[in-house]
Structure 1
């Protein structure tokens, strides 16, 4: 599949998901990701900020493609796409190193270069993150081949990131397809504050009823971000036409509901297409390995 066909596939999948009943999938995604978030709120608060999240996907895509790829190549890739500045990348990589999620060593053939590896601990966290996107996406756009409902098998993770790499290179990710959403998701906690507002309102009654501002304290505690952080997001959203604030209540306007659905449709479509590409790649690789084994007998 060439890049134009890949982008067309992502768009077709996104459109199908967006036109479906997304609420059940969004609620499941929120619940799954919050299971991990509650265990390590400080880590996930950093990871889910969109620029860091997309850099992490890039790291894993490069790592599973070539375990000797220099870290500098990942930096160049991320800088070229405007994910983060060089200094911000260095800071984020230092965080991953100090937190025990990444290891770095000198390249075997060129000591001027550093080779990186994300630890098993990091890959375990990432696998749970994949589950939180892929499993909900099956609700609105079931996979033709089907997947195990309990989660993504461990041996599928490298193949999944082969698929993610192709989407990244084709510029099929959220930052490219919906740049106007960046203000909401490129903040501590990423898209979770947005989903918390949406999910809580959905579970407490019709979305149009509104959201009581008194729950900001509970919301900030749940997400490990400050109350001020939540208020700033709402205030900016009000200026952009997504919320209407009246005393102690915030009304979620149709534009906000539409934006949430657009964001999640892209997230889910990228997850689904990446998994399909990964499973196709994994099957092809297994056939080649089997053929090689037979010819060597």
Structure 2
């Protein structure tokens, strides 16, 4: 499929999911499950749950399981060419993955100047566990589908997920580029879970408006980020017209943010379904 066809497919999946009456509940389940995993290794997950680094990891796995040889230099060239991130960020992330035992590097037997990479058992097990977080939410939205709660335990399903995801990545179907105003959140450390937290903790008043009294100290502690980091993200949202703030620090969460968050997670779930080769419009 062309890039346009892939985007249309993902958008069609997303619209189907968002119509489900349990969509918000599915997002909450995703958040609750993710937070449990996040708190086990907060410094690692706050780093990975930043869009550019997340896509570097995705590229590493797509190359590894795809037809392309897993040459480290190719990954660096690809990520920079696609404007996913800078070369320095790729280098830093590769170093992090290597020294934490999630990836190994070795010289090619054909050309000793060429470095090949391999995800470790630890790295692949963590990837599988992270992906598993979303499966119950998807099952909630597609109870009649063939999707199994244990689908990712099957190695063929796991490997094919990245082969299919490569179709999206290599044709530049990038989540944050599909959802306007999402990048200001997900391009920051822990951005994925920060969107979730704001969306789910906002309370709706009788007039239909959404409000949030942020607890910066608790959120900073829970997510292992600084209060300043959170404040900068909120300020970006205010400048973009997604929030407004009164003199007491209470945020009005405008409909633009709520719609953006729902669109983002509709697409997020749809990317996973595409990788699993499940069409939610044909269940």
The two structures have a TM-score, normalised by structure 1, of 0.85
Higher helix share: 1
The Cα offsets for residues 196-230 of structure 1, whole Å up to 9 and x where unpaired, read as 1222236x9888351113x1111111111111111
Cα 1:53–1:275 change in 2 (3 A) is: same
Q: Distance in 2 between matches of 1:36 and 1:16?
A: 28
The Cα offsets for residues 128-180 of structure 1, whole Å up to 9 and x where unpaired, read as 22122343233334574x22225621412111111111111222221332253
Q: Distance in 1 between matches of 2:104 and 2:129?
A: 21
- Residue 79 of structure 1, CA deviation: 1.1
Q: Would you say 1:230 and 2:202 are equivalent positions?
A: no
Q: Distance in 1 between matches of 2:228 and 2:3?
A: 42
Q: Distance in 1 between matches of 2:98 and 2:174?
A: 26
SS of the aligned residue for 1:117 comes to strand
Gaps of 5+ in 1: 278-297
* Kept after mapping to 1: 8 A contact 2:237/2:243: yes
Q: Distance in 2 between matches of 1:75 and 1:220?
A: 32
What residue number does 1:264 align with? 265
Q: Distance in 1 between matches of 2:213 and 2:56?
A: 35
Q: Distance in 1 between matches of 2:7 and 2:135?
A: 18
SS of the aligned residue for 1:84 comes to coil
Q: Please report the RMSD computed on the Cα atoms of aligned residues, expressed in angstroms.
A: 2.3
What residue number does 2:276 align with? 275
SS of the aligned residue for 2:266 comes to helix
Cα 1:143–1:224 change in 2 (3 A) is: farther
What residue number does 2:242 align with? 242
Structure whose alpha-carbon radius of gyration is higher: 1
Cα 1:67–1:2 change in 2 (3 A) is: closer
Q: Would you say 1:208 and 2:209 are equivalent positions?
A: yes
Q: Distance in 1 between matches of 2:186 and 2:105?
A: 29
Q: Distance in 1 between matches of 2:115 and 2:163?
A: 22
**Residue correspondences, number:** 275
What residue number does 1:196 align with? 197
Q: Which 10-residue stretch deviates more, 29-38 or 41-50?
A: 29-38
Q: Pairwise mapping of residues 118-129 of structure 1 onto structure 2 (< 5 A)?
A: 118-129=119-130
Q: Pairwise mapping of residues 23-172 of structure 1 onto structure 2 (< 5 A)?
A: 23-65=24-66, 68-141=69-142, 144=145, 146-150=146-150, 152-155=152-155, 156-172=157-173
Cα 1:11–1:264 change in 2 (3 A) is: same
* Kept after mapping to 2: 8 A contact 1:68/1:107: no
The Cα offsets for residues 247-273 of structure 1, whole Å up to 9 and x where unpaired, read as 131221111111101111111111111
Gaps of 5+ in 2: 279-283
SS of the aligned residue for 1:276 comes to coil
* Kept after mapping to 2: 8 A contact 1:102/1:116: yes
Cα 1:55–1:270 change in 2 (3 A) is: same
